[in-house]
């Protein structure tokens, strides 16, 4: 009996001992899992932390390269021309081509997305600062996003637009040597333009109100503008190559408020235009913006290129648009050079439909004589001066000089 009890006691003791070992093993296993969990979390945090230095390094490299190229374009003769002819076309044929496939202005959509992202980002940042014990972390992330966005904007503008401001002017490449001209030569230009715009006015059809319409039957405005630029490229090699489809802008009313007829988007390489502007001016504006895609950023030269493209176009609508816009510029200078009396005499020879277009044009833009338009003009003036166009918005007037030089060479 005693032995039996002893054996029983021994079994009981062994059983308890085994239970303790199992409990200890479970505790050890739990601690190990917690440790592994903390290690995994620490590794994830370290990975997140390690990404920021990489991002900052890449952004810094891009920034340095951009600054170097910008400095070279401004100070080293030939660099901007090399870039404009050898490197920039690659971006037009890739980014410009891809964005040209969309029926809407990609740049405009990106602006909406950027504004939305900014609002959401500010809200998320505020919430993170309130909930996160480590206030530094969300601040660093927000700063990195802002810095990277700034670098992207600066580098995109520089490589898709800024460098091209310092290339060889189109007038020099096309052999137009600047020279002084008289009031008589300016008058000859006005007569030449009037004769051609009057001829085009007889070839086109008008809408119910008596104005040219970009939606006229049989007139594909966008396609005709691209064809006109391609045709100009056959005569001037600097204008040859691919042209993406121009895009109308949804917020055209805002463009009108700023007195903007068209804009070249340097971030998406698109030629955009104000769909609310008087229709007769739109084809000329589109060709103007398309000329920027060939790296000619000076506004006076973009006007001249648009004039050349419209003048030589097979479409009477483009010729009507080009000569009408040229007439507005030329007659404005003729009034200052020749006086009111001679101006009135010459004005009387203009086709009635063209006069009606010009009057409607003045009426349309006069309603936007607001502080917004004034601020927009000052910003544009400052921008142009910073890009090497010392005359600012007055440089648009040099367009008349180029037309006169061109006519003088033609008549030689």
Nearest to 301 by CA among 312, 310, 311, 292: 292
For residue 386 the two structure tokens come to 């910073």
Mean pLDDT lowest among 127-136, 288-297, 361-370: 127-136
pLDDT tens for 247-297 read: 999 999 999 999 999 999 999 999 999 999 999 999 999 999 999 999 999
Mean pLDDT lowest among 8-17, 18-27, 53-62, 152-161: 8-17
Q: What is the mean pLDDT of residues 76-81?
A: 94
pLDDT tens for 15-38 read: 444 455 555 554 555 555 555 555
CA separation for the pair 142, 125 (Å, rounded): 7
Residue 85's pLDDT is what?
A: 94
CA separation for the pair 364, 59 (Å, rounded): 45
pLDDT tens for 218-248 read: 999 999 999 999 999 999 999 999 999 999 9
Select the more confidently predicted residue: 409 or 87.
87
Q: What is the mean pLDDT of residues 90-117?
A: 94
Mean pLDDT of the chain: 85
Phi, psi of 264 (to 5 degrees): -95, 120
pLDDT tens for 389-406 read: 555 545 466 889 899 989
Select the more confidently predicted residue: 4 or 368.
368
Domain ranges of the chain: 41-166, 181-410
Residue 337's pLDDT is what?
A: 86
CA separation for the pair 255, 91 (Å, rounded): 26
- Residue 122 — very low, low, confident or very high, per pLDDT cuts 50/70/90? confident
Q: Which residues contact 389 (CB under 8 A, 6 or more apart)?
A: 165, 298, 299, 395
Residue 15's pLDDT is what?
A: 45
Phi, psi of 182 (to 5 degrees): -95, 175
Residue 120's pLDDT is what?
A: 86
- Cα dist from 339 to 69, 180, 187, 211, 344, whole Å: 48, 19, 12, 29, 9
- Give yes or no for residue 94 having a pLDDT over 60: yes
Select the more confidently predicted residue: 45 or 89.
89
């Amino acid at each position: 009996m005693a032995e039996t009890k002893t054996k029983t006691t021994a079994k009981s003791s062994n059983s308890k001992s085994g239970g303790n070992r199992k409990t200890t093993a479970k505790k050890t296993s739990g601690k190990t899992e917690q440790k592994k969990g903390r290690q995994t979390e620490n590794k994830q945090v370290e990975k997140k932390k390690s990404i920021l230095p990489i991002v900052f390094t890449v952004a810094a490299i891009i920034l340095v390269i951009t600054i170097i190229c910008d400095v070279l374009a401004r100070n080293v003769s030939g660099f901007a021309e090399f870039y404009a002819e050898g490197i920039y076309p690659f971006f037009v044929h890739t980014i410009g081509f891809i964005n040209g496939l969309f029926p809407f202005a990609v740049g405009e959509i990106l602006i909406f997305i950027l504004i939305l992202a900014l609002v959401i980002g500010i809200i998320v940042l505020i919430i993170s600062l309130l909930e996160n014990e480590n206030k530094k972390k969300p601040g660093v992330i927000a700063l990195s996003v802002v810095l990277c966005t700034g670098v992207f904007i600066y580098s995109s503008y520089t490589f898709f637009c800024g460098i091209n401001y310092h290339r060889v002017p189109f007038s020099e490449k096309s052999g137009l040597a600047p020279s002084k001209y008289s009031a008589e030569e300016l008058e000859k230009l006005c007569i030449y333009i009037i004769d051609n715009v009057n001829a085009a006015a007889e070839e086109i059809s008008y809408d119910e109100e008596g104005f040219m319409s970009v939606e006229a039957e049989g007139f594909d405005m966008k396609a005709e503008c691209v064809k006109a630029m391609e045709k100009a490229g056959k005569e001037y090699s600097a204008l040859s190559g691919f042209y993406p489809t121009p895009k109308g802008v949804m917020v055209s009313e805002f463009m009108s408020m700023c007195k903007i007829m068209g804009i070249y988007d340097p971030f998406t390489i698109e030629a955009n235009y104000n769909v609310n502007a008087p229709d007769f001016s739109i084809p000329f504006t589109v060709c103007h913006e398309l000329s920027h895609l060939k790296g000619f950023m000076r506004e006076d030269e973009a006007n001249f290129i648009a004039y050349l493209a419209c003048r030589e176009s097979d479409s009477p609508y483009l010729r009507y648009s080009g000569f009408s816009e040229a007439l507005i510029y030329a007659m404005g200078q003729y009034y200052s050079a020749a006086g009111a009396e001679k101006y009135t005499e010459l004005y009387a020879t203009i086709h009635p439909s063209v006069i009606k277009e010009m009057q409607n044009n003045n009426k349309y833009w006069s309603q936007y004589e607001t502080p917004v338009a004034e601020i927009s003009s000052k910003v544009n003036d400052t921008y142009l001066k910073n890009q090497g166009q010392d005359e600012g918005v007055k440089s648009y007037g040099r367009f008349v000089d180029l037309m006169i030089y061109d006519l003088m060479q033609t008549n030689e």
